[in-house]
Structure 1
Amino acid sequence: HVEALAGAEGVGVGRRHLGTEALHRAHAYVEAEARALVARAPPHLVAEVSTGDFSGVVNGVVLNRRLANAYTNVSVVVLRLAPRGNPDGRAVVLNAHTDSTLGTAGASDCAACVAALLEAARCVVDGGVASAPSSPLLFVFNGGEETFSQGAHGWLQHEWAQQGAALINLESTGPSAPVTLFQTRGRWPVEAFARAAERRSEALRPTGTAAGADLFMSGALPVDSDFSVLHSAWGAGEARLPGVNLASILDGYAYHTDRDTPRRLPRAALQLFVDSAHELGLEFSRALAAGAGVGESAAEVDAQKVVFADFLGLRMMVLGDPTLMMTLAYAPFLCAALTADAGL
């Protein structure tokens, strides 16, 4: 998939900028792959593909500035895989963008994200009843993230968008692992992430801290992603989604440059992306089927304080009491100060 989308001319589509024929060819490829999965879906799954071109205005915040961002005919491809016994239930939205920024073929940002979702969907289709989701999975491939999330905003106009109840967004700031949890909304998605990581720690290698997430969400860094539209008040209003934002983060030297090529993308990093999307999608679907988030208003979700940190990439620890976590975080500094004061 990565070669097909980001490979050099004659091998793949290459640079997929919004408004270009190349991006249309990329969407045609994604749609064809999605329809191939639908064609061989087993009886216990309801499988459908939907496409659309959307126009609108994103009234949002870009680089800490208010911006009215208008767009016309931005394409979205959606693959829905739902359990036959619960086809219209609350759904997990798994989002990735098909476009690349100017001057790059975007192998990691974000052909790898698209490939991970296609492979995760294949695992659900080919994995038998054991890999069946408990709630619907909506695999969203939007064509306008690099233009400040126009595609994600367009997806919100899709008829299936109202079914969304949780979000897993895939991103990249570099082609190498680890895949890091760097933005969250709500408590239960972080707990679901921790459960999935504990169940498959050798595959997921959970990485991320609340401190890093706070830094990202503070606006101090001049970066953003589709997660902001899909979880924020200026994106989906009262229907905004709890969820997690994941990204591969190392080898940032290639990020948004012509060095972001398929050859630079380690197979291990791509496999980690696939495993993360697959395992988290199923874990989120189980949580939704069990009633996670039912009855919680958007304000209540926003007010939830959750502190998390990984331990050597082996386990994700989640604490609900910020005071306790801050105490643990500052304990080493306190011990060092006491030791220095004692002259030890």
Structure 2
Amino acid sequence: MKMAIVHDYLCGMGGAERVFQYICEEFKEADIYTLAYNPARTLPYFKGRKIHTTWLNPFVQSMDAFRWSFPVATHLMEMIDLSGYDLVLSSSATVAKYIRVPNGRHICYCYIPTRALWQTGDYFGGSWKSKLIRPFLSYLKRHDLQAARRVDRFIAISKTTQDHIASTYGRDSQIIFSPIDLDRFVPSENRGENYLVVSRLEQWKRVDYAIEAFNRLGLPLKVIGTGKEEAKLRAMAGPNITFLGGVDDEILAKEYAVAKAVIFTPFLEYGLIPLEANASGTPVICYGIGGITETMIPWSADSAENDSATAVFFYEQTAESLMAAVSQFESAEFDPARLVRHASRWGVPEFKRQLRQAVETIGGTA
């Protein structure tokens, strides 16, 4: 059986790109397609694979460029010739699901129904971009629904995503949780006093209220990540906050291991960063809504059963709510070994096994 695998675009180094790497590793025989590919901005693994792109490739070499290309990109993905494949597995948060598979089956591993279309207010905030997209929103949503109807089977990354697929697309889905590479993370005995944020610095990630909270707390905070909000966040930050920019995997693992706790601010359908923190023996202080409730176990001052806790939750995306959670965290205790054991449930081998089994069941032997 001839198989292809498709990703939205390969111009970044986020969680979806890491998951797509694991998909590519499992299906080595499959051909790879994507809207655009920038080897300098994404994971080194893809340099060893042949990547088929569209004619937009020279123009879409960053995440910002992709956002501007989105309406055109959806049509270009539909134009990719996949008529020679018996099975296509797409890895999609945006445009990969728009592909057409005329002579085979299409399985979509879905991170979330397109956030910019279905969570427009949260994604853009009150920016001018929100106003710009609104006149086109009805058309873009209809096109997105048409693409979803062509998918033969959805696989969701979490129960939260499964609920979104059901409410947005009216489709059932199977859940296969996204994994983390446990071999990348090792706990350290030399834990420091600084807190850590790991995030793309974009408006919807809501790092802003973490900066405000730590300005007021005066506690040391390190921020790993880059993005269009970086200059604004740096300007907000006090002298106790250090921006490390983009870092390689080795430095990231070290910072996870020595951090006092990782701060996780966004509403997400999942979130690999809290699991990576736990795999490093580090607890999390997180906004406790959405997919985070499927992977993290909250600590409670009123509970006598905190041995299994992995995080302190807060429930409002405000500096005040986060500050209260940090104060609560200071009185909590977490066992690094227990955190590591908790994270071990989300390893890559189990993800690959489940995905292979799903592909063989849905599409025949791959």
TM range (shorter): under 0.3
TM-score w.r.t. structure 2 length?
Answer: 0.24
TM-score w.r.t. structure 1 length?
Answer: 0.25
